[in-house]
Amino acid sequence: MALTADPALEAAHAFATPGTLAALEPFPGGHIHAAHLATYRHGGGTARFLLQQLNTRVFPDPERVMDNIERVTAHLTRALARARVRDLDRRTLTLVHTRQGASWHRDGDGRVWRLYQFIEGAVARPAPRDAEDAAAAARAFGEFQRLLADVPDPPLHPTIPDFHFTPARLAALEGAVDADLLGRAAGARADIEAVFATHGLAHALVDAHLPVRVTHNDAKISNLLFDAETGAGLCVVDLDTVMPGLAGYDFGDLVRSMATRAAEDEPDLSRVRLEPALVQAIARGYLREAREFLSSPERALLVTAARVIVLEQAARFLADHLEGDLYYRIARPGQNLDRARTQIRLLAELDTHAAALEREVARL
């Protein structure tokens, strides 16, 4: 197989890998970072690695990102080893260091690269197939939080400041509405009003003064690898946003991304229906791992956290639509507006079912 030209080829040689580079090919699926699958031949076999070029527009401080990832993956490895889990090398990401001992490489043109051991026999899923899939994903993120609950000081770096600070997201939307750079506000007036009608919800987690923990901050089933044979959850990936946060952020993201079978950009809002059974499965899986370290206020606010995160995401999609689709890629005009509308509808569904869901979470 032919090798690609620089700069990926140059970067592949910067890391302390075994043997000789035999192949380097683009690896599909990444939404933020460009990736290549690197195959090295050594002895009588081969080993594969995932080479990623970091998107420094989204993550302008790679040193902080990589310091967090190095600490988190090392802590997870130690915790899983103490628990004597099977397939330790497949249960967490493993960084390969450069020949100079660094966790990342900057090339001559300023591009930033990292290399992970490739996890063989694993698959990703864009959406849960059923309630058991949803529970398995939630359990994996609950375990992720539990294993990182005792990461020693100093605190991890904030890789995107105020990432889940919902009041700031609503303030950004307000600024986008006031500026209305592309004249799109009139066509989204009802959606804007719907978001601001629930603005009091934005402070619900902030005002509760909940414990700050190590959280993933982008918890969804597509950020979990499953064992291709057994279907069991294996390894949480996409660790760039792992930083200090509230436990409810991850629970809320899990509900937001898995509690309806409608597409995130579904234009037919009649299809956006909350499935309480999926929320219950998410809560069951998450609390199986997280109930022991969560405080009573954290447990009591899990459903509220889901509502907050859905509101926050509605505001983010809507602001991006008004500003010209600068952050979230679109495949068609108005896609971010449709994304915002699905979140607004999902929030209404959550509000309708909130009391019953809170009773179910309390029972669990």
**Of 296, 322, 356, 38, nearest to 180 (Cα)?**
322
pLDDT of 3: 44
Tokens encoding 18: 């075994």
For the residues 110-123, what does the mean pLDDT come to?
96
Q: DSSP string of 180-214?
A: -TTS-TGGGHHHHHHHHTTGGGGGTTGGGTPPPEE
Q: What is the mean pLDDT of the chain?
A: 94
Quick check: 13 and 92 in contact, CB under 8 A? no
Rounded to the nearest 10 degrees, the angle between the axes of helix 302-323 and helix 247-258 is: 70
pLDDT of 37: 95
pLDDT of 329: 85
φ, ψ for residue 255, nearest 5 deg: -65, -45
Instruction: Dump pLDDT digits (tens) for 30-66.
Output: 667 889 999 999 878 899 999 999 999 889 999 999 9
3-state secondary structure of 35: strand
Quick check: 90 and 79 in contact, CB under 8 A? no
Residue 231 has pLDDT above 50, yes or no: yes
CATH number of this structure's domain 124-363, picked from the four choices 3.40.30.10, 3.90.1200.10, 3.40.50.150, 3.30.470.20 = 3.90.1200.10
The residues near 48 (Cβ < 8 Å, ≥ 6 apart) are 37, 38, 39, 40, 118, 120
C-alpha 171: how far from chain center: 23
**Of 37, 327, 282, 248, nearest to 140 (Cα)?**
282
> Rounded to whole angstroms, how far apart are CA atoms 51 and 348?
42
Strand extents, DSSP E, 289-360: none
> Rounded to whole angstroms, how far apart are CA atoms 52 and 225?
17
Hey, what's the torsion of the CAs at 362, 292, 206, 363, to 10 degrees? 0
Instruction: Dump pLDDT digits (tens) for 295-325.
Output: 999 999 999 999 999 999 999 999 999 999 9
Instruction: Dump pLDDT digits (tens) for 134-188.
Output: 999 999 999 999 999 999 999 999 999 999 999 999 999 999 999 999 999 999 9
Asked if the 8-120 domain carries CATH number 3.30.200, the reply is yes
Answer yes or no: pTM beyond 0.85: yes
pLDDT of 43: 79
The answer to whether the Cα torsion of 132, 135, 140, 143 is positive or negative is negative
pLDDT of 118: 96
Residue given tokens 């001992």 in the structure block: 101
pLDDT of 34: 86
Residue 4 has pLDDT above 60, yes or no: no
For the chain, the structural domain boundaries read: 8-120, 124-363
